[in-house]
Amino acid sequence: MKLIDANVFVYALGEQHEYREACQRLIADVRAGRLAATIDVELLQELLHIYHRIGRTRFAHDIVLDICGMFPEPLMVTRGTMLAAVSVLAVHPNLESRDAVHAAVVLENGLEGIISADRGFDRIESITRFDPLEMGKSC
C-alpha cells in the first residue's frame, strides 16, 4: 500500500503539465482498484487550504468530498505521527513540514512509500518515493 501525496491530485486537476496525465491515470487506477493506495487526513487539509486560498472554495469542497468517497478511511495524523514528523525534520531540516508529516505517516503505518512528484522525499533514506511519471510507464 502506498500513500498518495496532495500534488498528485493538484496535478491531475490542474492545467496542462508534464505530470497531469500520469496523475490522472494513477487516480483512475485507484478508483478502478488496480492500484493499492491510500491518503492521510493531512492531504485533505492541504487540498482545502490550496484551493480555498486561491478563491476556489466550492471546488475545494467538491474535491474533498470526492476524495473522501474514494478513501472512506484516510490514515489519521496522531500525536505519535507528529512526534515522528519532528524526528524526520530533525534529520532533514530543509524538508517541508507537511512532507515530514506524510513521511511519518508512511513510516508509522509500514507503507511501501509515497506517490509524489516532490523530489524532497528522495532525501529521506527510509522512504521510497514513487514518481507518477515512472509509474505511468509501467501501467
Q: What is the pLDDT of residue 71?
A: 97
Structural domains of the chain, count: 1
Show the low-confidence residues of the chain (pLDDT under 70): 136-139
On whether residue 97 sits in a domain, the answer given is no
CA-closest candidate to residue 3, choices 81, 65, 90: 81
> Are 46 and 83 spatial neighbours (Cβ–Cβ below 8 Å)?
no
On whether residue 93 sits in a domain, the answer given is no
Q: What is the pLDDT of residue 139?
A: 41
On whether residue 101 sits in a domain, the answer given is no
On whether residue 36 sits in a domain, the answer given is yes
Q: Which residues are paired to 21 by β-bridges?
A: none
Give the structural domain span for 32.
2-75+112-138
Helix, strand, coil % over all residues of the chain, rounded to 5:
60, 10, 30
| Distance of alpha carbon 129 from alpha carbon 120, whole angstroms | 9
CATH number at residue 11: 3.40.50
Sign of the C-alpha dihedral, residues 56, 129, 97, 3?
Answer: positive
Q: What is the pLDDT of residue 132?
A: 97
On whether residue 33 sits in a domain, the answer given is yes
Q: What is the pLDDT of residue 21?
A: 96
Cell numbers 487550504: residue: 49
